[in-house]
């Protein structure tokens, strides 16, 4: 591959010496634009870090060095004569409890599901299972929160009542943990599945040849070999859980304090930011909330770096030799005679191993079944209840007169379409040409820096993306609460997804295509625009659809960037409504007359996301076809 790249560059250099000056200028400008798109990602990530840090300084100087992190009291508006208090300990506690608690639940189920799909499931079940896991990951967080409010919370209320606590709505730390564990489960399963599939076939065959059962082979060979990837999956899932905003906000109870009771309410860093930043009219309160965001950014960035290093270690890990496996599967012909005499007869050991094998296979299958069960529960529950809220008014009317009988959410659907469309138009060319730069200079130092920044940007919690845009565009008055500000927040979220998917698709194109194009006299620009990109276009479109499905259900970054306007509007300079906001607003409203619209909106949003992901699956199947045509 390296030699092919070098030969292609030599050919391009020789041909480039004879091309017209006009084409040389186009070549220079194209390379400059691709380089600009790539380094813009580095600039965005560094800007997020620097701006959050600078806006955190006022509160730290106001309170001193440690009080912000050690106090549990949060009193931004004290009675007259008393001092403001900003203590983040209760929010840090809520964030850690919900994140680590969800990890304790999700990791066993995720790893077991991955082991079943990778080692035991038939090929048809493996394909279907992987697709279902992808769909579970694609469900927007506001839909998870909505489902938790109307399905999980009532169950937890009954459970807490049975335990003796009657003064509860079912919302609290434990409810948030359960829903959050379902949300991060697909990430653990997907990455662990890839790690298990990456185990060399010789390792499996060596273990089976030494007399191991399928379960012994999984437990003593596959899982230890895939351990770095599984640990990386846990770190990435933890980072995802730490940054989750809407589902936790809707379920945690939003109460300050530290409590160990299972029905206790709490609050987390993202939910506190989402609830208070938009209405923060005091500079010190804004600084306190942004400091919480900066602390969250440092933690998630650290977890992301550790996870990437572990995945890199997995890719370069040394293969375990079969000779080492012989000591794990009862190869006792070199053992001490006294030890052999104490062992059970071979037939008994074989029967026990077979019983354990059947039991563990059943447990792995049950774990996989329980992992995908929430997907069907969400689809059926929202499908049945949401169908009752679907009517013509929902699509054609806005929130006129605050009367649910004549109101609708057509304006919010139009606003979401405008926001997503505007973000796609901006993010797609930036991400695509940044990917071109990475693919064409794949081994350079600058490409390494840009990839690192892209990975870090993809791990930034969505609420912090909204905080960043709020500081530079809304608070500064450049755009204010408008469609432009909301779209820019979505652009920051879309770019890393488009970049990584487009780069992978461009690298799939055979180098023989580049060499043939250069040999026919084409410049680098002509080769990229007329040969490479057209050959990779199905995979590029897939990446764009994936990014669209990722941002279609976003709520947190739009709460304090897009604003919310209760009428139909296409003015990009004014605040604009978006559909996920009304799912959140109506589901937490005490007036149950608005619930049917919330159900209908949830069904519409879920249907769009599912349609996009099914389309992605279909387009992904076309990648190899188009790539092979050029070879």
**Of 329-333, 362-366, 456-460, minimum mean pLDDT range:** 329-333
Mean pLDDT computed over every residue of the chain: 83
Residue 63's pLDDT is: 60
Confidence of residue 7 (pLDDT cuts 50, 70, 90): low
DSSP state of 593: G
> Residue 590: helix, strand or coil by DSSP?
coil
Q: Is the pLDDT of residue 573 over 60?
A: yes
Domains detected in the chain: 2-65+392-629 (1.10.3720.10), 79-330 (1.10.3720.10)
Confidence of residue 24 (pLDDT cuts 50, 70, 90): confident
For 597, other C-beta atoms within 10 Å of its C-beta total: 25
- What percentage of the chain carries pLDDT values higher than 90? 35
Mutual angle of helices 483-507 and 410-440, in 10-degree steps? 40
Residue 64's pLDDT is: 58
User: What's the average model confidence in pLDDT over 318-343?
Assistant: 45
Confidence of residue 619 (pLDDT cuts 50, 70, 90): low
Residue 294's pLDDT is: 92
pLDDT tens, residue by residue, 85-115: 888 888 999 999 999 999 999 999 999 999 9
User: What's the average model confidence in pLDDT over 598-617?
Assistant: 87
- Exposure string for 309-319, b = 16+ CB within 10 A, e = fewer: ebbeebeeeee
**Of 238-247, 351-360, 396-405, minimum mean pLDDT range:** 396-405
Residue 528's pLDDT is: 84
Residue 19's pLDDT is: 62
**Of 147-156, 476-485, 520-529, minimum mean pLDDT range:** 520-529
CA–centroid distance for 240 within its chain: 6
Residue 494's pLDDT is: 93
Contact predicate 631/536, CB 8 Å: no
pLDDT tens, residue by residue, 35-64: 999 999 999 999 999 999 998 888 777 665
User: What's the average model confidence in pLDDT over 543-550?
Assistant: 86
User: What's the average model confidence in pLDDT over 1-9?
Assistant: 50
Contact predicate 326/210, CB 8 Å: yes
pLDDT tens, residue by residue, 163-185: 777 767 889 999 999 999 999 99
What is the C-alpha separation between 457 and 41, in angstroms, rounded? 8
Measure Cα distances from 348 to 86, 353, 355 in Å: 65, 9, 11
Q: Could you tell me the pTM of the whole model?
A: 0.86
Residue 429's pLDDT is: 93
Contact predicate 8/511, CB 8 Å: yes
Of 262 and 462, the one with more pLDDT? 462
Mutual angle of helices 410-440 and 579-587, in 10-degree steps? 130
């Amino acid at each position: 591959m390296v030699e092919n790249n070098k030969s292609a560059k030599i050919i391009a250099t020789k041909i480039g010496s004879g091309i017209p000056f006009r084409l040389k200028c186009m070549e220079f400008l194209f390379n400059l634009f691709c380089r600009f798109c790539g380094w813009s990602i580095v600039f965005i990530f560094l800007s997020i870090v620097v701006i959050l840090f600078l806006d955190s300084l006022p509160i730290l100087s106001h309170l001193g060095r440690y009080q912000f992190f050690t106090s549990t009291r949060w009193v931004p508006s004290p009675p007259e004569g008393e001092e403001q208090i900003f203590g983040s300990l209760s929010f840090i506690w809520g964030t850690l409890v919900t994140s680590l608690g969800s990890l304790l639940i999700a990791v066993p189920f995720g790893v077991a599901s991955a082991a079943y799909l990778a080692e035991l499931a038939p090929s048809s079940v493996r394909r279907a299972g992987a697709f279902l896991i992808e769909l579970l990951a694609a469900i927007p967080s506001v839909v998870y929160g909505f489902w938790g409010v109307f399905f999980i919370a009532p169950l937890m209320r009954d459970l807490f009542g049975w335990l003796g606590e009657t003064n509860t709505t079912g919302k609290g730390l434990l409810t948030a943990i359960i829903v959050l564990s379902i949300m991060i489960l697909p990430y653990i399963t997907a990455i662990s599945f890839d790690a298990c599939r990456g185990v060399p076939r010789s390792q499996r065959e060596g273990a089976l040849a030494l007399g191991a059962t399928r379960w012994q082979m999984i437990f003593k060979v596959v899982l230890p070999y895939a351990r770095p990837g599984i640990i990386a999956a846990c770190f990435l899932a933890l980072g995802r859980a730490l940054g989750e905003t809407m589902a936790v906000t809707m379920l945690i109870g939003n109460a300050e304090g530290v409590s160990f009771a299972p029905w206790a309410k709490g609050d987390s860093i993202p939910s506190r930011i989402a609830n208070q930043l938009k209405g923060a009219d005091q500079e010190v309160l804004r600084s306190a909330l942004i400091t919480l965001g900066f602390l969250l950014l440092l933690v998630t960035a650290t977890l992301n770096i550790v996870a990437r290093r572990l995945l890199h270690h997995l890719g370069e890990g040394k293969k375990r030799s079969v000779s080492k496996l012989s000591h794990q599967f009862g190869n006792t012909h070199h053992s001490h005679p006294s030890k052999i005499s104490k062992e059970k007869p071979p037939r008994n050991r074989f029967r026990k191993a077979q019983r354990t094998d059947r039991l563990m296979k059943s447990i792995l299958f049950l774990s996989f079944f329980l992992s995908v069960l929430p997907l069907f529960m969400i689809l059926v529950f929202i499908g049945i209840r949401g169908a009752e809220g679907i009517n013509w008014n929902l699509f054609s009317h806005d929130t006129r007169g605050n009367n649910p009988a004549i109101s609708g959410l057509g304006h919010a659907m139009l606003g979401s379409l405008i926001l997503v469309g505007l973000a796609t138009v901006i993010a797609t060319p930036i991400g695509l040409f940044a990917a071109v730069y990475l693919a064409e200079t794949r081994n350079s130092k600058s490409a390494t820096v840009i990839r690192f920044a892209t990975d870090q940007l993809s791990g930034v919690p969505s609420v912090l993306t909204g905080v960043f845009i709020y500081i530079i565009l809304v608070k500064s008055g450049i755009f204010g609460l408008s469609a432009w500000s909301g779209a820019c927040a979505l652009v920051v979220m879309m770019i890393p997804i488009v970049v990584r998917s487009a780069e992978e698709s461009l690298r799939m194109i055979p180098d023989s295509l580049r060499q043939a194009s250069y040999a026919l006299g084409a410049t680098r620009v002509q080769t990229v625009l007329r040969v490479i990109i057209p050959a990779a276009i199905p995979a590029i479109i897939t990446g764009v659809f994936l990014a669209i499905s990722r941002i279609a259900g976003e709520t947190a970054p739009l709460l304090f960037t897009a604003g919310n306007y209760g009428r139909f509007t296409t003015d990009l300079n004014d605040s604009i409504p978006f559909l996920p906001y009304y799912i959140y607003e109506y589901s937490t409203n005490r007036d149950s007359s608005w619930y049917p619209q919330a159900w209908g909106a949830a069904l519409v949003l879920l249907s769009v996301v599912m349609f996009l992901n099914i389309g992605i699956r279909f387009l992904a199947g076309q990648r190899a076809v188009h790539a092979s045509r050029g070879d």
